Structure 1
Amino acid sequence: MLRVLRRGAAGLEAATPTPGWRPPEDAIWVDLLSPSRREELAVEEALGLQLPTREEMAEIELSSRLYQAHGGTFMTATLLARRGEQWRTDAPVTFVLLKGLLISIRYDELRAFDLFAERAHGLDVETGTQALFHLLDAGIERLADLLEKTAADVESVSAAIFRRPKGAQFEALLTELARAQSLTSMTRNSLVSLARLLSFASLAEEIASDPECRAHLRSLQRDDQSLTEHAGFQSSHIAFLLDAALGLINIEQNGIIKFFSVAAVILMPPTLVASVYGMNFHNMPELNWRFGYPMALSLMAMSAVVPIVWFRRRGWF
């Protein structure tokens, strides 16, 4: 899909690539969403660029993500796209600044892009550089919202771990922690890629020559850095909660094993007495004794009571 944002327009307009197609004179943003090869060729021919392929956008080398060529500045970042109700996946997005025009290439629906397109008219966006900054603002704001939601979920799990009734199951809590850790890790990965993009963006002529753009860029860098630090702290907190949950599981398992160990020790002496008097040898003195049976029962009871009393005094039972 090929869409264009024109100066003063209320939103993105769909464009059909025809032979000799050119972006409008007042275009400030050309958005390629899952473009066809025909759309890619039309944009490349119109602007004199060679756009990166989807495979090149997914590479992690800086030389493949951040470079200048054909008079344009190419910058690729990894954002988060929602898939289904819960899971999100890494979504590479390439931004190209070329003489005041912004070109974006992506293969996933991104809520931040849609929000900016709806608010572009009210934001009074005049150039592609301003459009880039507003898109990055929206992307960072989206990541901040994800971190806030994840932090709230983690606090809820934390309260459930330490206040849960004895014997409650841990499976659901561990699943929630794993989900939160995965999302936090992907968010931090996205923030790191944005930090690299923001650092490289200062080399673009459109930004380097404009003091207002440089100030906006520094503001974005500070926001990104603070969120990266917060994501790192949150990841450490989740790791602590995971260790705490596993520790509580081990404590409960040790308690169960301890109970059965004590029970086995208590039952061992009576079992020994019963085994001795269950042999029924002919020359056993107590075999024909009138009080042999009560004596054996009393001996078994005493041999069971003595370990119980001793364990209680030691605080083991």
Structure 2
Amino acid sequence: MIRNITLHNGQILVRDGLPPADEATSPFVWLDVSRPTEVELAEIRGRYGISPRSDAPGVLEEGDYLFVRTLLAAPRAGHDPDFHPVTFILGGSLVASFSAEPYAPFELALQRMQRRPRQVDGPRDVLRRLLQAANDASTLAVEQLADALTLSSERITQLSTGYNEAGQELGVSDLTDTMLELNEREDVLTQFIEAQLTLHRAVRYLSGEVDHKTEADLQQLVHELLEDVRGTKEHAAFEHEKVRYLQNAVTNILNIKQNQIVKVFTIITAVFLPPTLVGTFYGMNFSVMPELSWEHGFTYSMLLTLLSAVLPLIYIKRRGWLR
């Protein structure tokens, strides 16, 4: 699918396909290309001599065009963000964006352009607005990830106490589920930081394309965008470190719970071993056992068994091993 966005008579025009070849020259042409067919790619190649190359490096200068490959985040309510590979191509009066699927934040950039069409000044300014919309989407996505990590932190606090808000006991399986969730969050944040690095690179190369003398205002806006992208990347890096901290916390809680389980079995063994030993004595088939002829021999054996179980339990409690 191809959309061409141009400025005509002070208005932003959005049309399908390529702009008419005989149309009066516009200050810029933005080609928004998503899910392109081979026929559409051939049309773009025939008109402008460009096409995205999957084997190209992150940045490529070819002829009059600058090719920049990026990975852009798109937030989703209640879910982890999606990541869209997008290739930007910048020329003298052309800016093109190629993506396998439509990238929703570009619609926000288009709406901003339509509200103030006379402020749109050439393809470099259009590219800045597209990159600004992408960074705004990244900022929203990392804030959603931060909120999700806050919920995970609260859940870990409940796990450390052993009970949830409903009073139900939490066990090792709950810790395992939380750890798997944190591992997924770490993978997402790692990919997010990588995406921000590609976005930072795109803005940096755009800055190199702007004329510092004749486009001073645009250069200032690009520098501000560069700082915004860097700030979002640092926020994502902070959340990534937070995930690592929470993973360590879950691991420590899991180790403590496992140690508690081992301690319980050890105490049970220590308490029941002496009675087992007493029972073993009385299970021997000796012909002479004086207790068998005692009037209170059974009571004596029961008391001896009980005492042999209680004394280790008292000792363990005095040593504080039950805490």
Q: TM over 0.5, yes or no?
A: yes
1:42 partner SS: helix
User: Per-residue displacement from partner, 1:186-225 (whole Å, max 9, x unpaired)?
Assistant: 2211111111222222332667862223222211111111
> Which residue in the other structure is 1:184 paired with?
189
Runs of at least 5 residues in structure 2 that lack an aligned partner in the other structure: 163-168
TM-score, normalised by the number of residues in structure 2: 0.86
Alignment of 1:65-84 (within 5 A): 65-81=58-74
1:96 partner SS: strand
The structural deviation recorded for 1:163 is 3.4
> Which residue in the other structure is 2:165 paired with?
none
> Which residue in the other structure is 1:121 paired with?
114
Contact in 1 for aligned 2:200/2:229 (Cα 8 Å): yes
User: Per-residue displacement from partner, 1:283-316 (whole Å, max 9, x unpaired)?
Assistant: 3333333333222212111111111111111001
Contact in 2 for aligned 1:286/1:292 (Cα 8 Å): yes
> Which residue in the other structure is 2:25 paired with?
25
Identity percentage over the alignment? 25
The structural deviation recorded for 1:162 is 0.9
The structural deviation recorded for 1:87 is 4.6
User: Per-residue displacement from partner, 1:225-265 (whole Å, max 9, x unpaired)?
Assistant: 11111111110111111211222122122212211210111
> Which residue in the other structure is 2:219 paired with?
214
- One-letter code of the match for 2:37? S
Matched, 1:39 2:44: no
> Which residue in the other structure is 2:15 paired with?
13
Moved over 6 A (4+): 82-85
Candidates 118, 137, 143, aligned match of 2:132 = 137
Alignment of 1:1-317 (within 5 A): 1-7=1-7, 8-10=10-12, 12-15=14-17, 25-26=25-26, 27-47=28-48, 49-53=49-53, 55-56=54-55, 64-81=57-74, 86-124=79-117, 125-164=120-159, 166=162, 167-168=169-170, 169-204=174-209, 210-317=215-322
Contact in 2 for aligned 1:28/1:126 (Cα 8 Å): no
Runs of at least 5 residues in structure 1 that lack an aligned partner in the other structure: 58-63
The structural deviation recorded for 1:23 is 7.3
Contact in 2 for aligned 1:29/1:103 (Cα 8 Å): yes
Contact in 1 for aligned 2:210/2:219 (Cα 8 Å): no
Change (3 A) 1:23 1:230: farther
Change (3 A) 1:85 1:278: same
Contact in 1 for aligned 2:190/2:240 (Cα 8 Å): yes
Cα distance between partner residues in 1 of 2:310 and 2:68: 78
Cα distance between partner residues in 2 of 1:87 and 1:149: 8
Report the count of equivalent residues: 307
TM-score, normalised by the number of residues in structure 1: 0.87
